[in-house]
């Protein structure tokens, strides 16, 4: 496995791979990798001749500098995990390499980029689109792999692909969870032992709500989940929205869509760590 820090070096390497007709898979990450990321890398290795994993903590998608400062940085360990998964290249550029000048491009794809995370983290999805579009330009992958934990992000990236006219195929990969149900996340490493102990209550409540929803309204289901999670000391629901899985707009009843998803963000602990998760109530996609 080779590690590149410069765009031109990675592009030169991929030029020859592409010339030989090899398929290229890209796994964009911000580092602090875990088993969830590993599943994306392994899927790309299985699907493609060449796999590139980017490790870049993108500052333009953080609207809270404190959140950026707290984000774990573990490049050496990340590279070991990536190599173990069978990837060919790691791309770990500096901020100056990725952004030699200010990126003034502005991406907005309402309604998918303006609700939920988009409404509460101004500029977040614009920053995501800035870096992902750059990575697509640099690597020119056939396929790019993203985890379903960041479910709304995938919807935004699909809109980005259409907007920039890219032919990259977006591959959605299932959430990888801890044995107690907590979604694997780089932010989990920031939880104290006490916070980690209460965090699984989020998915426990989401899971139980699926059966509850069969005999209750959307508003009743939403209220039940929020009440249960907020009853756990140290957890505070920032939002829980039950939406159409294609438009990301709130639904009024269970018959209004064939694809309905509950999306939640919970603040955990005194110095809140934002934990994101979702549950699918109906899964038919159009």
Total residue length of the chain = 286
What is the maximal distance between C-alpha atoms in the chain?
58
pLDDT of residue 284: 67
User: Please, which residues bridge with residue 277 across strands?
Assistant: 264
The residue among 283, 285, 244, 284 whose CA lies nearest residue 263 is 244
- Is 153 a known ligand-binding residue? yes
Cα radius of gyration rounded to whole Å, the chain: 19
37 is catalytic: yes
Q: Is 148 annotated as a binding residue?
A: yes
Residue 36 in marked binding region:
yes
pLDDT tens figures, 209-249: 999 999 999 999 999 999 999 999 999 999 999 999 999 99
Q: Is 147 annotated for ligand binding?
A: yes
Q: Is 1 annotated as a binding residue?
A: no
pLDDT value for 29: 98
The active-site residue out of 37, 106, 124, 278 is 37
Query: Roughly how many angstroms between the first and final C-alpha of the chain, as a whole number?
Result: 39
286 pLDDT exceeds 50? Answer: no
> Is residue 33 annotated as involved in ligand binding?
yes
261 prior amide bond cis, ω within 30: no
The model's pTM is: 0.94
Between the alpha carbon of residue 170 and those of residues 147, 155, 166, 243, the distances in Å are 10, 10, 10, 22
Q: Residues 149-175: pLDDT tens digits?
A: 999 999 999 999 999 999 999 999 999
């Amino acid at each position: 496995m080779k590690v590149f820090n410069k765009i031109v070096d990675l592009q030169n390497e991929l030029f020859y791979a592409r010339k030989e007709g090899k398929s290229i898979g890209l796994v964009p990450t911000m580092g602090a990798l875990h088993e969830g990321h590993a599943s994306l890398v392994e899927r790309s290795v299985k699907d493609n001749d060449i796999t590139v994993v980017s490790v870049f903590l993108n500052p333009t998608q953080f609207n809270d500098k404190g959140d950026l400062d707290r984000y774990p940085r573990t490049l050496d360990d990340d590279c070991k995990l990536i190599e173990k998964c069978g990837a060919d290249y790691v791309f770990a550029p500096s901020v100056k390499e990725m952004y030699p000048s200010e990126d003034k491009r502005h991406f907005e794809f309402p309604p998918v980029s303006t609700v939920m995370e988009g409404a509460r983290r101004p500029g977040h999805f614009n920053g995501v689109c800035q870096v992902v579009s750059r990575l697509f330009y640099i690597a020119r992958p056939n396929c790019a792999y993203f985890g379903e934990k960041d479910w709304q992000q995938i919807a935004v990236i699909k809109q980005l692909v259409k907007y920039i006219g890219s032919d990259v195929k977006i591959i959605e990969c299932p959430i990888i969870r801890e044995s107690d149900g907590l979604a694997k996340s780089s932010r989990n490493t920031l939880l104290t032992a006490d916070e980690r102990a209460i965090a699984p209550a989020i998915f426990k409540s989401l899971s139980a709500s699926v059966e509850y929803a069969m005999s209750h309204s959307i508003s009743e289901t939403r209220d039940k989940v929020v009440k249960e999670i907020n009853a756990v000391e140290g957890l505070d629901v920032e939002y829980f929205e039950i939406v159409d899985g294609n438009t990301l707009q709130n639904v009024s009843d269970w018959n209004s869509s064939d694809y309905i998803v509950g999306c939640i963000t919970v603040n955990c602990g005194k110095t809140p760590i934002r934990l994101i998760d979702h549950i699918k109530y109906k899964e038919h996609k159009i």
